[in-house]
Amino acid sequence: MSRGGFWRYFDFSLVGAMTILVIIGVTMIRSAIAGNIELTTTTPLVNRQIIFGVAGFVMLLVMAAIDYRVWSSLSLQLYIGIILALLALNIIGGALFGSARWFQTALVNIQPSEFAKIVMILVMSDFFSKRLHLMSDPNWTIRSFLMMMGITIWVLLQPNLSTSIVLFVLWFVLLWIAGLPVKHLIAYALTGLAAISISFPLLVEFGVLQEYQLRRITTFIAPDPNARYGDTYNIEQALISIGSGGWFGQGYGQGPQVQLRFLKVRWSDFIFSATAHELGFVGAVLIILLMAFVVYRCLWAARVAPDTFGALVCYGVATLIAFQALVNLGVNLKLLPATGLTLPFVSYGGSSLFANMMAIGLVESVIMRRKVIES
């Protein structure tokens, strides 16, 4: 098949749903920062999000054009490269600021941990696709775990617990999809929970778990009814914002919870609450349906993938988007403790948006080459 022939199978519905989410995100970020002089002058968030969105769309097309199997042959280089980037960030950030999650440049801030998620999907997909017949051997499971921790440990030390959890979930789900027996999965899960419970005091003592992270957990489990500020306040304002939106919302740019800034971090962690407040139940459901459609198309791509590596990559991207979306929605609805995970394609965050669009490009690359085995 000619190179140009691949584009006939480009999934426009997948990219279309993603694009609508990005547009909703930019639109709601603009509303969320309206009237906030500091954010509109010194930090033009809307302009930055648009720039990253355009750059991300270009990268999506580039990733779609490149045969996804190329990344299998480069998995070792990608693995070493992301570890070096995270290691450099930890050293520089530790020396200059005590901790850091971004490389700060004159133009943009880059968050390597967002790209670590993509690398994790590619590396684990390559590892498992070559060892499907060995999945019952615990040695290979342990090796994959050590490989996962080789990336995760540097993210955890930033500290960035939420992204570390995402990396762990990606590994665990791909391990399951690759064919690890369920009894082994259950055994590993129970072992992991026991290990976390036993090591919890050490994690706190050595600063792996920060005070604010512990406070989020305790606030969720046993909230103080008299608390007026902090995490309790943020969650309560999120619920008020969602509940007061009604069917069609308070109107774009008219929601008092957003415009009077009662709702905090409304352009990022709580952009879903801001959307439900100003665009109502209809707007909130639209976001959920679009997100579900994106995940569905990624799962469909996994089914039609011409090889195991491609299928695992698509399953990994579906897991990445679904998990982050579910966690973010759970936080906004007070079903989960605050985590800091943003809503894919919608929340403000240049590196996150760029990396997620790159992931969709990977899925498109798999979809476009599904007909090779038929020709």
pLDDT band for position 42 (cuts 50, 70, 90)? very low
In this prediction, residue 33 carries a pLDDT of 86
Three-state secondary-structure class, residue 267: coil
pLDDT band for position 218 (cuts 50, 70, 90)? low
The stretch 5-15 carries a mean pLDDT of: 88
Q: Is the pLDDT of residue 222 over 70?
A: no
Q: Is the pLDDT of residue 216 over 70?
A: no
In this prediction, residue 375 carries a pLDDT of 43
Report in angstroms the alpha-carbon separations of 263 from 17, 30, 271, 272, 329.
27, 15, 9, 11, 15
Q: Is the pLDDT of residue 303 over 50?
A: yes
Higher pLDDT, 29 or 179: 29
pLDDT band for position 372 (cuts 50, 70, 90)? low
Q: Which position has the token pair 């279309």?
A: 16
pLDDT band for position 95 (cuts 50, 70, 90)? very low
CA angle 26-113-150, nearest 5°? 160
Locate all alpha helices (DSSP H) within the chain, ordered by sequence: 12-32, 37-41, 45-65, 69-73, 75-96, 112-129, 138-156, 161-177, 182-205, 211-221, 230-243, 256-259, 271-304, 308-332, 350-368
Task: Express each pLDDT in 139-153 by its tens digit.
Answer: 888 999 999 999 999
The stretch 145-170 carries a mean pLDDT of: 91
In this prediction, residue 160 carries a pLDDT of 83
In this prediction, residue 374 carries a pLDDT of 47
**For the chain, what is the mean pLDDT?**
85
The stretch 278-302 carries a mean pLDDT of: 96
Neighbours of 181 (CB within 10 A): 11
Higher pLDDT, 209 or 91: 91
Report in angstroms the alpha-carbon separations of 281 from 273, 296, 304.
10, 22, 35
Report in angstroms the alpha-carbon separations of 5 from 65, 190, 329, 369.
11, 48, 39, 10
Using a pLDDT cut of 90, give the percent of the chain over it: 53
pLDDT band for position 373 (cuts 50, 70, 90)? very low
Higher pLDDT, 101 or 66: 66
